[in-house]
Chain A
Amino acid sequence: MWQWLFKLSSPKWFYTISGQLMPWLAALTTLLLGIGLVWGLAFTPPDYQMGENYRIAYIHVPAASIAMGCYYMMACMAAAFLIWRIKMADMVAKACAPVGMTFTALALFTGSVWGIPTWGTWWIWDARLTSTLIMLFLFIGVMALRSAYDSEAAGSKACAVLSLVGVVNVPIIKYSVEWWNTLHQGASSLSLSNTSANPPEIWLPAFFVGFGLLGFYLIAIILRTRNEILIRERRTDWVVDILNTNKGFS
């Protein structure tokens, strides 16, 4: 296990292993997303209060969880990069920021679309909405900092420091926003993730879509990381070989 992880920290190994995994991951993701989306969006019974509208939660809930997980993943990679100087960790962290930002934006967008008919407004300053919006700002901040640096190495380290400062703050921000929200307007009982009351035909598709989106997330991260490897290692022999033979995933 450790040896395998250790090998993954070499760009060449990461590139090779991820290339071998990719077709399987892509097939599994397509299968899960296909089953989950068709089942969830077309065949589950409509909710007796929200009607057809609740189906957007099948996308919204996993997108929001993945977005939050992505921030922690970015911070872990940043720590690995700062402590052990693993270049691969920084490449993954670099891939995390735009992907995490997109998932956060997706969660906010689907939440707003769901909110218009359900809450009667597309935006309220609810604790979850607000802390998700702040997380979007944090992702944007990391991307802005990286693009401001001309030197790749310095930008990587600066982003790693910022990600770690951010991850210390994320729980404080979340807690403070929840506290602020209860002071100003009372806790919202409209929770999207309250699935304990639902039968399996409601939550099983969510399970499929959730793992499908997770697969999609991993594919996005891996593709971006592979591109980054090719760019940063473009002067090494093995990358030149790949570019010359141009074999795609191999």
Chain B
Amino acid sequence: MSIIKATLRRELLIAFRSPGEIINPLMFFVIAVSLFPLGVGADQAFLSEIAPGVIWVTALLAVMLSMDSLFRADYEDGSLEQLLLSPQPLYFIVLAKVSSHWLVSGLPLVILAPIFASMLALPDAGIIPLTVSLLIGTPILTMLGAIGMALTVGLSKSGLLLAVLILPLYIPVLVFGTGVVNSALNSLGIAGLMALLGAMLVLALCLAPLAIIAALRISVSL
């Protein structure tokens, strides 16, 4: 367990020493959400209808765009190789690394989302379900994104390739995430959908680190 603590400490320290990495995905989220009313018009009724989808799609893109900082610097300065060579269980190192990345890139989005959902005229009944669905859903997005990032970190131009690889895999999270909000707005039960999202999170936490490790080994051997 101490390796988890040590990795978390290291990652969070690095993240807070270069705050741009934390703030940029957040700024992307804020600006991209603000573009929608400008693009589709300020009609409150229409905005409230598209609000869950807009917030979810934008959060999804923000998570994907933030992935680049997950392994890139470690790959370039060689610490990724040291990590893979370390005698500690790699599974937990990767899990801690990806979790700390979510803490600095995903969690701020979850905290900001209610404000922007409110600005998009999402009815009050949908605010808490949206926040909770993002809270469960964004870690899944980070785990899946980390697989894609691990596969492409050794390539020189990987930005758009990551989107092609990862966005199709994000679809179930998007469907269930927006489904939670829409069900809440239509006064339907959301427990089942939340449970499905939770099941996907557990599945991602269990299996994604294995894929990430395999992918990192390939990238480092390049």
**A binding-site residues for B, Cβ under 8 Å:** 82, 134, 137-138, 140-141, 144-145, 148-149, 151, 154, 157-158, 161-162, 164-166, 168-169, 172-173, 175-177, 179-180, 183
Partner of A154, one of B171, B182, B222: B222
Determine if B168 and A177 form an interchain contact, defined as CB atoms under 8 angstroms apart.
no
Determine if A144 and B164 form an interchain contact, defined as CB atoms under 8 angstroms apart.
yes
**B binding-site residues for A, Cβ under 8 Å:** 144, 147, 151-152, 154-155, 157-158, 161, 164-165, 167-169, 171-172, 175-176, 179, 182-183, 200, 207, 211, 214-215, 218-219, 221-222
Partner of A145, one of B151, B169, B175, B214: B151
Given contacts A145-B151, A145-B161, A168-B207, contact A158 B218 (CB under 8 A): yes
Known A134-B171, A149-B155, A157-B214; further 6 A-B contacts with Cβ < 8 A: A141-B165, A144-B164, A157-B218, A161-B214, A173-B168, A179-B179
Chain A residue with the shortest CB-CB distance to B167: A137
Cα A95 to Cα B61 in complex, Å, equals: 31
Cα A213 to Cα B140 in complex, Å, equals: 39
Residues of A within 8 A of B207 (CB): 168
Determine if B215 and A161 form an interchain contact, defined as CB atoms under 8 angstroms apart.
yes
Provide 7 A-B residue pairs closer than 8 Å at the C-beta atoms, listed in order of the A residue: A134-B171, A158-B218, A161-B147, A162-B151, A164-B211, A166-B168, A173-B171
Determine if A162 and B222 form an interchain contact, defined as CB atoms under 8 angstroms apart.
no
CB distance from A231 to the nearest CB of B (A): 21
Given contacts A154-B222, A179-B179, contact A165 B164 (CB under 8 A): no
Chain B residue with the shortest CB-CB distance to A143: B164
Cα A168 to Cα B175 in complex, Å, equals: 17
